[in-house]
Amino acid sequence: MTHEDKGHYAKKHPPERKVKPEVLNALKKQISDKGVSCSALHKVASDLGESPAEVGVTLDFLEVAITKCQLGLFGYRPEKKIVKPAEIIPQELEEAIRNNLANNRLTCKSAWEIAEGLGIKRMEVASACEALEIKISPCQLGAF
């Protein structure tokens, strides 16, 4: 979604799409005037046994922005994106990224799995992707 879409997130979904009341109630407790963080959304999903995508759809219907992407790709003020291209990329990391590409992109979920598998921070994977000019998409929450 682009900045022009801000406040119109629900338009991404068919009008007949319903949200789960328990997800809706849990999200309402997490929202601040700045939005809700990626990590808080993933915690809600985990706590409720729901997928991040389900939580993301519910948030879209609330017309609330996601903040502080755990990959550093969006939701930070004032820069919006805080991840920077890595200066050095370990061969093992580059191979893991390249081996997990789908349509020349790395999914958010794969980025998380690579980080966990290599024992590094998620933003390090995003930083390597920035340097390699590899886009991360789609977001597990449906933000991009």
Average pLDDT, the chain: 93
pLDDT, tens only, 99-135: 999 999 999 999 999 999 999 999 999 999 999 999 9
**Domain edge (last residue) among 24, 52, 67:** 67
State the pLDDT at residue 40. 97
Number of Cβ within 10 Å of residue 81's Cβ equals: 14
Q: Given CA atoms 136, 103, 44, 49 in this order, what sign does their dihedral have?
A: negative
Is 96 in the same domain as 58?
no
| Domain count within the chain | 2
Please indicate, yes or no, if residue 72 is contained in any of the structural domains: no
Please indicate, yes or no, if residue 41 is contained in any of the structural domains: yes
Please indicate, yes or no, if residue 73 is contained in any of the structural domains: no
Is 54 in the same domain as 98?
no
- DSSP for 122-133, please give it: HHHHHHHHHHHT
**pLDDT at 7 exceeding the cut of 70:** no
Is 18 in the same domain as 53?
yes
Confidence of residue 32 (pLDDT cuts 50, 70, 90): confident
Q: Are 129 and 97 in contact (CB under 8 A)?
A: yes
If we measure between CA atoms, which residue out of 56, 32, 61 comes closest to residue 44? Answer: 56
* Number of separate helices (H) and strands (E) present in the chain: 6, 4
CA angle centred on 73, ends 128 and 76, rounded to 5°: 135
Please indicate, yes or no, if residue 116 is contained in any of the structural domains: yes
Is 60 in the same domain as 20?
yes
Please indicate, yes or no, if residue 84 is contained in any of the structural domains: no
**pLDDT at 57 exceeding the cut of 70:** yes
State the pLDDT at residue 70. 97
pLDDT, tens only, 70-99: 999 999 988 899 999 999 999 999 999 999
State the pLDDT at residue 6. 63
Is 7 in the same domain as 63?
yes
Confidence of residue 8 (pLDDT cuts 50, 70, 90): confident
Please indicate, yes or no, if residue 52 is contained in any of the structural domains: yes
State the pLDDT at residue 33. 82
Range of the domain at 53: 3-67
Please indicate, yes or no, if residue 95 is contained in any of the structural domains: yes
State the Cα–Cα distance between residues 81 and 126, nearest whole angstrom. 11
State the Cα–Cα distance between residues 97 and 100, nearest whole angstrom. 5
**pLDDT at 4 exceeding the cut of 60:** no
State the pLDDT at residue 86. 98
Please indicate, yes or no, if residue 25 is contained in any of the structural domains: yes
State the Cα–Cα distance between residues 116 and 103, nearest whole angstrom. 23
